[in-house]
Amino acid sequence: MSTDRLPRLLALVPYLQVRPGIPVAAAAADLGVSEAQLRQDLELLWMCGLPGHGPGDLIDLSFEGDSVTVTFDAGIHRPLRLTADEALSLLVALQTLAEVPGLAERDVVDRALAKIEAAAGTQAKALSGLTVNLQDRAGRRPGSDEHLGVLRQALDQQRALDLTYYVAGRDETTERIVDPMRLLLVEGRSYLEAWCRRSSDVRLFRLDRMDDVRMLAEPAMVPPEALPRDVSTGVFQPSPEHDAVTLRLGAGARWVADYYPCERVTEVGPELEIVLRVADRRWVRRLVLGLGTEVHVLDPPELAEEVRREAAAALAGYHQGISSSA
pLDDT < 50 regions, the chain: 1, 125, 134, 136-144
The pLDDT value given to residue 63: 78
The pLDDT value given to residue 5: 73
Please, what is the Cα angle at 183 between 179 and 188, to 5 degrees? 140
10: amino acid identity, one letter: L
The pLDDT value given to residue 217: 94
320 CB burial (10 A radius; 0-12, 13-18, 19+)? exposed
The pLDDT value given to residue 78: 60
202: amino acid identity, one letter: V
Q: What pTM, to 2 d.p., does this model score?
A: 0.45
So where are the chain's domains? 5-72, 84-125, 148-219, 243-322
Cα 187 versus chain centre, distance:
5
The pLDDT value given to residue 235: 63
pLDDT in tens, 102-155: 555 566 777 777 777 666 655 554 555 555 554 544 444 444 456 888 998 999
The pLDDT value given to residue 137: 43
The pLDDT value given to residue 216: 95
Longest Cα separation, the chain: 95
Angle, helices 301-325 vs 281-291, to 10°: value is: 60
Task: State how far the Cα of 77 lies from the Cα of 35, in Å rounded to an integer.
Answer: 25
> What residues does 191 pair with on adjacent strands?
184, 206
CATH 1.10.10.10 assigned to 5-72 = yes
Task: State how far the Cα of 45 lies from the Cα of 70, in Å rounded to an integer.
Answer: 10
CB contact at 8 A, 38 and 44: no
The pLDDT value given to residue 163: 93
The pLDDT value given to residue 98: 63
Helix (H, G, I), strand (E, B) or coil at 114: helix
Pick the CATH number of 148-219 from 1.20.1530, 2.60.40, 3.30.1300, 2.30.30: 2.30.30
Cα separation values, 325 from 311, 312, 318, 320, 322, Å? 21, 20, 11, 9, 5
